[in-house]
Structure 1
Amino acid sequence: MSSTTSSEHSKAPTVGGYARKLSIKPKPSITIHINNYYRSKVYTTGSEITGHVAINPQTDVRFDSLQIVLLGTTKTRVDAVSVPQSTAHTFLKLTMPIPESSYPVPRVFEAGMNYTLPFTFVIPSTLTLNACSHHVANSSVQEHHTRLPPTVGSWEKDDFAPNMSRVQYAIKARVYRDEDSGSGVVSEKILEAMREIRVLPAAPEDPPLNVNKYDDLYTMSKSKTLRRTIISPRAGRVTVTAQQPGAAMLSPDGQTATSTAVPLDLAFEPAAGSGDVQPPRITAVSSKITAVTYFSAVGVNHYPNLRNSRRSFGSEGRGSYSGTTSASTGPVGTIRWDRQFTAQARRDSGYGSEGPSSSSESDPMVPKKRKDSTESPIVYTARVRVPVQVPAQKKAFVPTFHSCIASRVYVLWLTVSLSSGGATAHVTLGVPLQIGVRGSSGSSDGDRAASELPPSFQEVEEADEADEFWRPRVLGVPAVQFDRSSAVGAGGLPGYADLDFRRRTVAAH
C-alpha cells in the first residue's frame, strides 16, 4: 500500500518538474561571428569589419525581415537633484541592406538547418551633419561633434571613465515578425544578437586652445617668492609661464603614445637690496595627468573645458568626473639665463628712454612692476623644455574629443621646484594636454589603410562637392543569399568576391 502511494506521488507533476520541462525547451539560436577577432582587438578609422550572422533554429521560426547594423551610441546618466536623467544618443548607424531575393521562400527558418549571412562594415572617417542636429555656438564645435568619438568605458585597462558616461560600438542582428495588432501591422523582434567592438578613431592634432583667465580648468602662469624660511627675507620672485605642448599621439591600437614637451618661460626678479642673488636652478620637475570627462543630459553647445566650466557643469542636467595618474618627465638640462635691465633701470641710467625697443616692458617674459614693492634693476629670463611621457602602458588613454553629450579632455600638471642660495619655491601649473590618434599606416587582419585624416568641417564646407560629401551614404545592395545547410553537414559562407559594396549608410537619430 505504501509502495503504491509512493509510486503515485513520484508520478505526480510538481512545480519544479514543470520548470525543468520549460527550461529544456529548444530556443532559436542567433550569433554574430567576426573574422580575425580577438579580445584586445581595436578598430580605427578605415578598419574593415567582416563576419557573418549564424542562425541555428531548433524549431521552425516564421519571420518577415532581418537587419544587420553597426551602431555607435553615447549614453549618459546625470543624478540630478530632482530625478536621475538618462540619455542615449545614436550618432552612427551603418545598415547593411538585404535584398528581397536573398530571403528563403517561404520565410521560415527550418529546424535543424544552419543559416548564415555575411556582412561587411567600414569605420567611417566622419559623421554626417545629422549626427549633431542641436544648436551649437559655432562651426568649430559642430566640426568636433561630427567626428567619431572613441569607445569609452569598455577597455581592459582603466580609461578614467565614470559609470555616468559611456560610448559603445556594437554590431547587432535582429529578426522581425510582422504581427497584426488590430490597429495596424507591428514588427515584433523575435531574435536578437549583439557583439560589442572597441573603436579608436584617428584623431588629428588640433590648434592650441586660446586659454584666458576665465578658463578655470587651467593655470598657465604662476609667480612665487623665493625664501629660505617663512619668516626670512625674500630673495626674489620667480614667474613660470607654460606654453601648450604638442599633442601626444596614440598608436592606432592605443598601446603606445609619443612623448611631448612643455615649453616653460622662466623670469626671476631679485629682491631689491638682496645683494648679488643668482637666478635659481631647477632642482626637480614632477608631472601628473588628470582626465576630465564631461557628460550632459542635453546637447552641449560649447566646449565644456573652457570658460567657467566647473560652474556650468555643476548645474542640474550636467556633470563631470576626473581621474589622475602620474606621468614621467625627462631631464630638463642646464638653464641658460639672460640678464636684462628693467625699464626703470634704463630710465635712471639715461639710456633707452625713447622707443619701444629700449624698454623691457614689451617683453612678456619680464615681470610687470608691482605697486607694493620696489622694482629690481635687473631681471633674468630663460626658456626650458620639459619632456613628458604619457603612461599608455598603465592606463587606457582615449583621444581628446567633444561629442554632443560627452567630452574628454586632459590637464597636464607640472610642479617645478626651484632653488637659489638656499631659498626655494614650488610652482604648479595646469596645462591643456591634447591626446590624438595616428592614422593606420597599413592594413592587417582585413583592416583598411587610414593614413589620411578626415578633412575639417571648414574644408568640406568650402569644397565644391560639399553637398555631395554630406549627403547620406547608402550601402549598395549586395548579391547575397542565405546559405542554407544541414546542421550536421559542413556549412559555408557565400564568396565575398561576389559582394558589391559601395558606400555605407551613416545616419543618426
Structure 2
Amino acid sequence: MFNYAESIASRNTYMTSIRETMAEAQRSKPAVTISMDGDADGKSHRFYTNRDRLEGDVKIVAPADTRFDEIYITFEGTSRTWMERLGVSPAASGRTSVSQTFLRLVQPVNEASLPIPRVAIKGQEYTFPFTFVIPERLLPGACNHTIAVENQSVEEAHLHLPPSLGDHTISTFEDKDDLAPDMTRISYAIRVRVLRKKDTEDQPVVLADTARKIAVSPSIPDAPPIHIQDRSTEFVLRKEKDLRKGLLGKKIGRVCIFAEQPQPLRLAPNSSCPPSTRVPVSLTFVPANAETPPPELGNMTAKLRTSTFFSTQRTSYTPTVSRSTPDPFVGRYQESTLLSSRCVSNVSWEKQEPPLSSSSSSKPVYKAQIIVPIAEPKCKHLVPTFSTCFVTRSYTLELSLSIRTSKHSQPNLALKLPLQVSQPAKDSREHDSAPQDTSVEEFFVPRIISPSTLQQEVAVMAPPPPPPPPPFDRRQGQLPQSMLLHPPNEMPPPEYSVFRGTGGPPVRIPPPVGISPGCG
C-alpha cells in the first residue's frame, strides 16, 4: 500500500511524462511560415477590400521526418459572439457563445509539389504559392435563417462582407480603437493546416495549424435616407423651445433648430486624410415682440454615438435602439466620442421683415445657419455601417447648441441625426491590372435596344437575301409568246394557265369532278 510520499512522487512522475510528451510533440511540429507579397517585416499594415488579391507563399519545414497526408491552404472569415445571460435560476444563467465561418476559400495545392511518399524530410523547405481574391459578396448559404427575415433588405445586408472588428491582434489596429466590445469579434485570416489521417479513426491528426490575420474593410455603398417617424425617440431632426431671461424671467421668444440627415461619412482606409462630411444646421428665432433682439449663440458640440448590437442567435431584423419589442437575446454596447466643440457666437442673425400685406402686429423673423464639420476622431477606427446575422454596427450624430439668454442661463437644444458610414468601391481599373477577355464581360452587360437598333440587329442576324435571278433574254428559247411573260424560274404551277395576249395574272383551271389532277 502506497503512503502519502510515494503517491506524491508517482503523481509528479506522471505529470513530468505528460510535459515531456507535449514538449516532444511541439518540437516535432512542422514550422509553417505564411508570407505575403509586399510585406517587408512579415506583418500586414494595410486594409484589404473587395476584389483585392492576396498573393504569397507558404513555407513548411519539418524538424524531423514527418509523415502527412493533406495540406490545406484557405482564406477564412469568422465571427464570434458571446453573451452573459442572467436567469431566475443558476441553470438558466451562464455564458452562451456562437461561432460562424461565413467565408472559406480554398487554394488547391499542386500534387506535383508534394513529396512521394508523403513524408516531409527533416530540414527540407517546401514552398506552396497561394492566390486569393476577396469576393464582392457572400454566398446565400452564409445567411441561413430558420425564421424568415422581415424584408429583402435585411437579407441583402447580411450578404455583404462585414469588416474586421474587435480583433486587436492585427498590426493594423495596434494604435486605434474600433469601438467594439469584448463580446464581438470578426476576423479574416489565411490559414494553413497539415493533417495526417489515422488508420483506426476517421478524425485526422492536426500536425500544424497556423493562421495569419489580415484587416478587411469591404466596400459598403451609400444607403438611402432613413425613414424617421414624427414621434421617434431615437432620432430628432427638429427641436423648438421657448426662451426666457433667466429661470423665471419673461419670455423673449421661441427658437427652432433643424437639420437634415447628413451625407454619409465615406471612408478611405489606406488614405492619410481622414474622412469628413458636414451638417448644415438652420436656426429660426421668433421674438416675443418686435423690439426684442435675437439671442447670442453659445457653443456647438458634436458627439458620435457608436452602437454595436450582438446576439448568439440569428436575427431576422436590423436591431435598433428604439425597437418597440426589445429582444432579450440581443445585447447592445454604446460608446460616445467627442468630435468637436466650438464657440459660434460670431454667427450673425439675418432679419426678415414681415410682408406688407400682413397685419401691423406681425413680428420679424431671424434666421441663421451653422455649418458643423464632421471628421473621423483621432485614435479611433470607424468601420462601415453593417448588419450581419449576429453583429450590427450603427452610428448616431448628437448635436447640442447652447443659447445665452442671460449671464447665468444657457439653455441647450439637442438633435440626434442618423449618420451612415460607408466605403465606396474602388475603381475596377485599380483591381484588374491583368488583361482580361472583354468579350466575356460584354456578354453580361445589359443593353438598351431602341427600334432603330433592333432593326439593325435583326438585319445583321437575318440570313442574306438570295441573289437576283439572271436576266432573261426573250429571244432565246423555243417557247410560245404567251409563255414568255414569266422567266423560267417563275413558271406557274401545273394547275394554272395564262391566257394568250391577256398579260394578266395566272388563272387556276379546276380539274373535272371525279378525276384527280394528273390522272389522265
Q: What TM-score do you get using the length of structure 2 for normalisation?
A: 0.69
- Paired residues for 1:302-341 under 5 Å: 302-305=317-320, 307-308=322-323, 312=326, 315-328=327-340, 333-339=347-353
Q: Distance in 1 between matches of 2:318 and 2:353?
A: 41
Inter-partner Cα distance in structure 2 for 1:303 and 1:268: 38
> Could you say which residue in structure 2 is the equivalent of 1:483?
none
Q: Which runs of 5+ in 2 are unaligned?
A: 1-12, 87-92, 168-172, 434-444, 448-520
Q: What SS is found at the alignment partner of 2:47?
A: coil
Within the candidate set 388, 393, 414, 2:378 is matched to 393
Please tell me the root mean square deviation across aligned C-alpha atoms, in Å. 3.2
Q: What SS does the corresponding residue of 2:137 show, helix, strand or coil?
A: coil
Q: C-alpha separation between the residues in 1 aligned to 2:161 and 2:274?
A: 20
**Structure 2 letter corresponding to 1:130:** G
Match of 1:248 in 2: 265
**Map of 1:59-458 to 2, 5 A cutoff?**
59-81=64-86, 82-134=93-145, 135-154=148-167, 155-156=173-174, 157-181=176-200, 185-213=202-230, 215-253=232-270, 256-271=273-288, 274=289, 276-305=291-320, 307-308=322-323, 312=326, 315-328=327-340, 333-339=347-353, 377-378=362-363, 380=365, 382=367, 384-419=369-404, 424-440=410-426
How far the C-alpha of 1:396 sits from its partner, in A, is: 1.1
**Structure showing greater relative contact order (alpha-carbon pairs closer than 8 Å, 6 or more residues apart):** 1
Cα distance in structure 1, aligned partners of 2:432 and 2:386: 23
The secondary structure found in structure 2 opposite 1:23 is helix
3-state DSSP of counterpart to 2:338: strand
**Structure 1: how far apart are the matches of 2:332 and 2:194?**
39
CA distance in 1, matches of 2:315, 2:19: 50
The residue identity in structure 1 corresponding to 2:420 is Q
CA distance in 2, matches of 1:19, 1:320: 43
Task: Give the deviation of 1:171 after TM superposition.
Answer: 0.8
Match of 2:402, SS state, is strand
Match of 2:23 in 1: 23
Report sequence identity in percent: 31
Q: Match of 1:32, SS?
A: strand
3-state DSSP of counterpart to 1:124: coil
Q: 1:434 to 1:257 in 2, by over 3 A?
A: farther
Structure 1 unmatched runs, 5+:
1-12, 350-375, 450-461, 465-509
Shift of residue 442, structure 1, vs aligned partner: 8.7
- 1:55 counterpart SS class: strand
How far apart, in 1, do the equivalents of 2:342 and 2:432 lie? Answer: 36
Q: Which amino acid in the other structure matches residue 233 of structure 1?
A: K
Cα deviation, residue 392, structure 1: 4.0
Seen in structure 2, the aligned counterparts of structure 1 residues 15 and 330 have a Cα distance that, compared at 3 Å, is: closer
Counterpart amino acid of 1:76?
A: T
Cα distance, 1:256–1:250 mapped onto 2, change above 3 Å: farther
Task: Give the direction of change, closer, same or farther, for the CA distance of 1:202–1:229 in structure 2 (3 Å limit).
Answer: same
Specify the alignment match of 1:6 in structure 2.
none
The equivalent of 1:57 in structure 2 is 62
Change (3 A) 1:246 1:32: same
Instruction: Report the CA distance between 1:319 and its aligned residue.
Output: 0.5
The question of whether the paired residues in 2 share the 8 Å contact of 1:412 and 1:431 is answered with: yes
Contact 1:225/1:425 (<8 A) preserved: no
Aligned partners of 2:311 and 2:271: how far apart in 1?
26
Alpha-carbon distance in structure 2 between the residues aligned to 1:270 and 1:405? 51
Which deviates further from its counterpart, 428-437 or 328-337? Answer: 328-337
SS in 1 for 2:157: helix
Shift, 1:339, TM fit: 4.8
Query: Which residue number corresponds to residue 469 of structure 2?
Result: none
Contact between 1:286 and 1:416, CA under 8 Å: does it hold in 2? Answer: yes
How many residues are paired up?
A: 402
**2:125 and 2:238 mapped to 1: Cα distance?**
67
Per the TM alignment, residue 77 of structure 1 is displaced from its structure 2 partner at its CA by: 1.0
The answer for the alignment partner of 1:43 in structure 2 is 48
Amino acid corresponding to residue 137 of structure 2 in structure 1 = T
Partner of residue 458, structure 1? none
Q: Check the 8 A contact 1:259/1:388 in 2, yes or no.
A: yes
Residue type matched to 1:23 in 2?
A
My pick for the range that moved more, 101-110 or 202-211, is 101-110
Rg comparison, structure with higher value: 2
Give the distance between the partners of 1:392 and 1:442, measured in 2 at CA: 30
* Cα offset, 1:418, TM superposition: 2.6
Amino acid of the structure 2 residue aligned with 1:246: Q
Instruction: Please say if residues 281 and 335 of structure 1, whose CA atoms lie closer than 8 Å, have aligned partners that are also in contact.
Output: no
- When residues 213 and 85 of structure 1 are mapped into structure 2, their CA distance, relative to the original with a 3 A threshold, is farther
Within 2, Cα distance between the matches of 1:71 and 1:385? 47
Cα distance, 1:250 vs. partner? 1.6
CA contact (8 A) 1:169 1:197 kept: yes
In 2, Cα distance between equivalents of 1:109 and 1:117? 14
- After TM superposition, the structure 1 = structure 2 runs for residues 456-495 of structure 1, keeping only pairs within 5 Å, are none
